């Protein structure tokens, strides 16, 4: 059973994105937060998504050693598609497809 709202497709479920996220206490101003990698867990409402923040590193681990990551809610203005990475095809950030 999916507890999220129907996704409108702007940021599809499980798609790679980047969001601003504070990595240290020095990042007091939201506009100064760095862009970090994450993925869309689901859409929570008309303009809000739940994002798993992998770019901040794991916050803990399961008993089996699997990493656990923070989650954050962001609206569309605070989300951008992830930079393209396909190193097995020779494509890196900023390279043309």
- Domain membership of residue 79 (yes or no) is yes
**Domain carrying residue 27:** 16-86
Helix (H, G, I), strand (E, B), or coil: what is residue 57? coil
Max distance between CA atoms of the chain, in angstroms, equals 42
CB–CB of 5/11 below 8 Å?
no
7-63 pLDDT, tens digit each: 999 999 999 999 999 988 777 788 888 999 999 999 999 999 999 999 999 999 999
Q: Number of C-alpha atoms within 13 angstroms, CB side, residue 41?
A: 15
- Domain membership of residue 2 (yes or no) is no
Give me the mean pLDDT over the 63-78 stretch.
96
pLDDT of 97 reads: 41
Q: Which residues contact 95 (CB under 8 A, 6 or more apart)?
A: 84
pTM: 0.80
- Domain membership of residue 30 (yes or no) is yes
Mean of the per-residue pLDDT values of the chain: 86
The DSSP 8-state label assigned to residue 14 in this structure reads T
- Domain membership of residue 48 (yes or no) is yes
pLDDT higher than 50, residue 88? no
Instruction: Indicate the number of domains in the chain.
Output: 1
């Amino acid at each position: 059973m999916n507890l999220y709202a129907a996704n409108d497709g702007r940021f599809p479920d499980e798609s790679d994105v980047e969001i601003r996220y504070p990595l240290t206490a020095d990042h007091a101003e939201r506009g100064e937060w760095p862009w970090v990698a994450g993925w869309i867990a689901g859409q929570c409402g008309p303009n809000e998504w739940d994002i798993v923040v992998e770019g901040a590193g794991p916050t803990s681990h399961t008993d089996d050693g699997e990493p656990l990551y923070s989650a954050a809610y962001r609206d569309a203005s605070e989300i951008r598609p992830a930079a393209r990475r396909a190193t097995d095809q020779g494509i890196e950030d900023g390279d043309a497809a």
